[in-house]
Amino acid sequence: MKPNRVPLNKFDLKGFTSEMVNFYKDIWDADYAHEVVELVKDRGIPGGYIPCKKATIYRNIVKDGNYLFFPFHEPNVLGFSESFSCADGQDIENVANEEEDGENQDDSCFLPGDLELYGYILKYESDLLTLDPAYLDYTTGPAFRTVSCDDCGLLDEPMEAFIGKFVKS
C-alpha cells in the first residue's frame, strides 16, 4: 500500500473515525477499547493512547496536528489465531503460505506476528490529510515504535480498499 494524500474536504474523516472506533469496540475488551489509537511522536516513538472518541480523534489530527496510529486489524494473538478480524469486516485466515514441499510461495504474503499491528498513521498539514501505511512494532519494547512501511503483505489490498471508501469524488 502506498501513502495516500488527500485534501481534508475530499476525505470523510468522521466516517473513517466512526468506523474504526466501532471496530475497536467490537474486537477489544471494553476495558481496552479506549486504548487503541496511539499518539505518535518523533521517530515513531509512541506518545500514549488517546481516548477513542470521535471528537477527540478529530481534534488531535486536525486542530492539534498530531500523528495518530490506527490499527487495521486485531492482534494475531501469539501468532496462533486461526484468523483475525480487520476493520473492513473481513477475517484473514492465519495459514502458513507454503506449498506441500515447504517452499515459500511468495515472500510478500506475510501475516502480522503477535508483536505487530498494521494500520495507518494519519497526519494533517497544509490542508492535506496523509494516510501512511505503518505498523506498531512491539518487538523493540519496552520502547515500542510505529514504523512507516510500503508493504503490509496480505493486508495491502484490504487496507487500500478500506481507505478508498472514505475518499470523496
Q: What is the pLDDT of residues 3-14, one digit of tens each?
A: 789 999 999 999
pLDDT of residue 64: 87
Give a yes or no: residue 15 inside a domain.
yes
Q: Which residues pair with 129 in a beta bridge?
A: 6, 124
Question: Exposure of 35 by Cβ count < 10 A (0-12 exposed, 13-18 middle, 19+ buried)?
Answer: middle
Give a yes or no: residue 102 inside a domain.
no
Give a yes or no: residue 137 inside a domain.
yes
Give a yes or no: residue 20 inside a domain.
yes
Q: Which residues pair with 91 in a beta bridge?
A: 85
Give a yes or no: residue 90 inside a domain.
no
Highest mean pLDDT (candidates 29-38, 99-108, 142-151, 153-162): 153-162
The total number of structural domains in the chain stands at: 1
Question: Of 139, 160, 153, 167, whose CA–CA distance to 84 is shortest?
Answer: 153
pLDDT digits (tens, 9 = 90+) for 119-155: 888 999 888 999 988 877 766 655 556 667 777 777 8
* Domain assignment of residue 64, given as a range: 4-77+107-164
- And the C-alpha cell for 111? 501475516
Give a yes or no: residue 120 inside a domain.
yes
Q: In degrees to the nearest 10, what's the CA dihedral of 28, 31, 36, 37?
A: 140
Helix (H, G, I), strand (E, B) or coil at 140: helix
Give a yes or no: residue 169 inside a domain.
no
